[in-house]
Amino acid sequence: MSAVEYEPVIGLEIHIQLATATKMFCGCALSFGEPPNTRTCPVCLGLPGSLPVANARAVHFGLMIGLALGSELAPRSIFHRKNYFYPDLPKGYQISQYDLPLCLGGRLGEVRIHRVHLEEDAAKLVHVGASGRIHGSDASVVDFNRGGTPLAEIVTEPDLRSAEAAGEWLRLLRTTMRVLGVSDVNMEEGSLRCDANISLCPAGSEQLGVKTELKNMNSFRFIERGIRAELARQEAILRAGGRVEQETLHFDPASERITSLRSKEEAHDYRYFPEPDLVPVAIDAAMLDAARAALPELPAARAERFEREIGLSADSSHLLAFRAELGDYFESAWSAAVDPAPPAQALANWISGDLLARLAGGQAVASADGEPGGAEGQGEATGTDPSSSRVSPRALATLVGLVAAKRISVGAGRQVLDRLVADGGDPAAIVQAEGLAAIDGGDELAAIVAAALAAHPEAAENVRGGNAKAIGPIVGHVMRETKGRADGGAVTRLVHEQLGL
């Protein structure tokens, strides 16, 4: 008897804070860690008589997001009030969008977008524990600096089928938003937040299962683990013959436990109605043109250009295009007019391999010998952006050019890179100063080869006898003597010459 197979059905609800100068509905500058309640005004404090006025730039960013996702942009969209009581909601309602959002539909990668809309962020509630002031019960302090920050809410269709797929897609979304320049999209800082809607459905069945909402996961790893934990929880329930309850859940990464966030209050009835204090947003040709003009090259298009026009491998193209900082660095290096010029693929490999490895402390993505691809590293957490290193794009291009032209050996090249990472500078000068120029021939090398052959007579005999692999110790000897500067090919040629092969 085979057990029923369950298929995960996952949708994501993402909030990104927009990188405008001011809040969504008032002119307060956005806050980055200022002392509490120093970035407020009558509007974002919800003082009596205050009125909201929508931020033009937030709408502009919303349009850019819609264009990048291939959504339909509503010619006319309106704001709605979402009514509920909470201390971080100064008006007792959040201004959001309901049935006429800014963008509908769209797609990013393998996932369809349901909608994108604009809204304002809530303030921050900080728990201060038992204060003894209010009957000894717990108290919280509200800081309204964050309240009113513009948010774009992106809701996907439930097209994701695994926790890994969700994590990967979220990274894609993050890169896209970063490339657009509409948000810092930093999970640790709270400018990117993600909730997941999760259900299981029997394989082959059309019927959707009951879905739960998983909230408050604030890192990529927690999201994947949380989704995995919830899928496991739901499967266990279903296999035991039970029913999954529709509820809002919280994932505790320390204990891997899923707990219910349902409070003793009833489910919210938000009583949405059109916001009477704001007029509809109408998209005109000028706004559309401005949004289109502001669109940078998006990752998919960039990858295609790398492959088609520059001739990088598919894997290298994808890697550099979807990690914008690597792509930017590559293009700067590629366009630096150095002589000898580096081949494109070699340049790509050095960046994603040896350079990144040195910057990230050992997490190589690909080796410099030309083996591209491999899983994406954990760089997003450690921020390995080559442009913030001491290795200028021009310097790297020069280095790769020198190696490709065999002016220095690969080994010497790595030594030069170590020097560049530590102190910056110019590769040619370093090669000069440390005497790393390749030895690829001439009397000096011939003499060293002769000495190596004399020092390893058995190896020499074996090579003469046709065992190519036996050349190892001879080459090793030469490399040690030349401090890695000898060109491997030249050494092999001289060995064969001197052995009369």
Partner 1 sequence: MIDRDEVLHVARLARLKLDDGEVESMARELSGVLDHIAKIGELSLDDVRPTSHVVEVVGRLRPDEPRPCLPREVALEQAPSVADGGFLVPSPQA
Partner 2 sequence: MSAPEIIDLSATQAVAEIEAGRLSAAELFDAYRARAAADELNCFTWVAPGADGSPPAERSATPLRGVPLAVKDLFCTAGVPSQSGSRILEGYRPPYTASAVARLAAAGAPLLGKTNQDEFAMGSSNENSAFGPVLNPWDRTRVPGGSSGGSAAAVAAGLAPWALGTDTGGSIRQPAALCGIVGLKPTYGAVSRYGMIAFASSLDQAGPLTRDVTDAALLLRHMVGRDECDATSLGHPEEITLPTAESLAGVRLGVPEELAGEGIDPGVLDAFRGALERARELGAEIHDVRLPHAPHGLSAYYVLAPAEASSNLARFDGVRYGLRRDAPAPTGDREADEDGGLVGMYTHTRHDGFGAEVKRRIMLGTYALSAGYYDAYYGRAQRVRTKIVADFDAAFAEVDFILTPTSPTVAFPLGERTGDPWSMYINDFCTVPMSLAGIPAISIPCGLAGDGGGGELPVGLQIAGPVFSENRLLDAAFALERALGFDGSRARGGAAA
Q: Is 454 helix (H, G, I), strand (E, B) or coil?
A: helix
Q: Looking at 4, 53, 130, 236, which residue binds partner 2 (CB under 8 A)?
A: 53
User: Binding segment for partner 2 among 135-143, 317-325, 367-375, 437-445 (CB under 8 A)?
Assistant: 135-143
Helix (H) or strand (E) run with residue 489 in it: helix 488-498
Task: For residue 263, give the nearest of 215, 211, 223, 229 by alpha carbon.
Answer: 215
346 binds, among partner 1, partner 2, none (CB under 5 to 8 A by kind): none
Site size for partner 2 (CB under 8 A) = 32
Residue 497 makes CB contacts below 8 A (sequence gap 6+) with none
Q: Please identify, using beta-carbon distances, which residue of 46 and 473 lies nearer to partner 2.
A: 46
Instruction: Based on the shown chain and the rule CB under 8 A, indicate whether residue 87 belongs to the binding site for partner 2.
Output: yes
C-alpha span between 15 and 187 (Å, rounded)? 10
Residue (143 or 440) nearer to partner 2, CB: 143
Region from 274-282, 283-291, 455-463, 493-501 binding partner 2, contact rule CB under 8 A: 274-282
CB of 61 to partner 1, least distance (A): 10
- 273 counts as binding partner 2 under rule CB under 8 A: yes
Give CA–CA dist 104/283, Å, rounded.
Answer: 14
57 makes contact, choosing from partner 1, partner 2, none, with CB < 5 to 8 Å by partner type, with partner 1
Q: Is the CA virtual torsion 57, 59, 61, 63 positive or negative? A: negative
Residue 344's identity, in one-letter code, is: A
Which tokens belong to 174? 């993050």
Q: How far apart are CA 371 and CA 200, in angstroms?
A: 39
Provide the pairing of β-strand 138-143 with 124-130. antiparallel
Give the tokens for residue 9. 């059905």
Residue numbers 4-43 binding partner 2 by CB under 8 A = 42
Least separation in angstroms between CB 58 and partner 2:
14
List of residues contacting partner 1 (CB under 8 A): 20-22, 26-29, 35-42, 45, 53-59, 76, 78, 85-87, 125-128, 131, 133-134, 137-144, 261-266, 269, 271, 274, 276, 278-282
The DSSP secondary-structure symbol of 408 reads S
Tell me the angle at which helices 442-455 and 488-498 cross, rounded to the nearest 10 degrees. 60
**Per-residue x/- marks for partner 2, 302-341, CB under 8 A?**
----------------------------------------
Binder to partner 2 among 35, 49, 129, 457 (CB under 8 A)?
A: 49
